[in-house]
Amino acid sequence: MVKILSAVLAILAGVGGMLAFYWMFNVLVERLPQRWERRIKPYLFIGPAIALVALFLVFPAFQTILYSFTNSDNTAYIGLDNYTTVLQDAGFQDALFNNALWIIFVPTLSVAMGLLIAVLADRLKPRGEKISKSLIFMPMAISFVGASTIWGFVYDSRFGQGQDQIGLLSAITTKLGFEPQRWLALAGYSVNDFLLLIIMIWLQVGFAMVLLSAAVKNVPEETLEAARIDGASEIKIFSRVIVPQIWPTVIVVFTTILILVMKVFDIVYVMTNGANGTEVIANRFYSLLFTDGENGQAAAVVVVLMVAVIPVMVYQVRQFRAQEAGR
């Protein structure tokens, strides 16, 4: 009860404080001459946001870059030694390979499945469309930790004599005559990596479906009818009429999921903590910082991740601008 009360008070104080802040300064600015009011008002409203971004994002980013050139306790500068050590580390190389798997498969499969579901759901009756989309979008309301816990039960296996399999995957495979497996320990051919990928795909398909469904509905009906009159099959209509017209949205959804995947941490940490060859870059950073106490190397890993994410973010911003310009 105390925690709930504290949360409510924090929300009221935060929201109420910001409302009071803007109201008070708005009243003060409106007392100025109109010329000065027009100049100052925009900065009044965007100033706090810029200050918070600088304080909690820009400053820590620069500090992390500086720490990446220091020793394990950040007391002396050692040049590029951290980057050399990190890039030569077998654990970091495995993390890079696993991140590459996540980058290749999660955005591609999420967008492909989301687009397929969006097109198929669009053909249902309104009630059926709403129900099906709601069910598919529902995992988006679950946190990564919660989703990992759910799928932990799916991958659970019992090895005792006569014990029932409560894990869905083991229950199915044992009914088919196979032996139960420790699924998340199957490192060969990155089987356990793909089992973790499924969790993220399950979470992101609903997100892709909602955005792509809106794009599909905006495709002019006249172009679809013209294609049908010309004798085009439904597959050709989908691939040559629908997809080209919603391609900018597909790219935006793809890059959004891609950025999320590049920073994936929660699922790996909860399910395996990087064991059995499932390490990713973010989890490697966590291990270096909190387990090994290598602050400098951990900062170097973060800088590598930032450098990898920035080009994708720039591309995404350009896509947003291109979309806005085309409207």
- Facing residues of 77 across strands? 70
pLDDT digits (tens, 9 = 90+) for 46-98: 888 888 889 888 999 999 999 999 999 888 999 999 999 999 999 999 999 99
Cβ-proximal residues to 142 (8 Å cutoff; 6+ apart), any chain:
150, 203
Long-range CB pairs of 281-290, under 8 A, 24+ apart, other chains included: 281/92, 281/95, 281/96, 281/99, 281/305, 283/95, 284/91, 284/92, 284/95, 287/91
pLDDT in tens, 92-133: 999 999 999 999 999 999 999 999 999 988 888 888 888 999
Q: Is 184 helix (H, G, I), strand (E, B) or coil?
A: helix
DSSP state of 125: -
CB-CB contact of 158 with 164 (8 Å): yes
Q: Identify the CATH class of 89-326.
A: mainly alpha
Residue 304: partners with Cβ closer than 8 Å, 6 or more residues away: 83, 86, 281
Domain boundaries, the chain: 1-67, 89-326
Name the DSSP letter for residue 76.
S
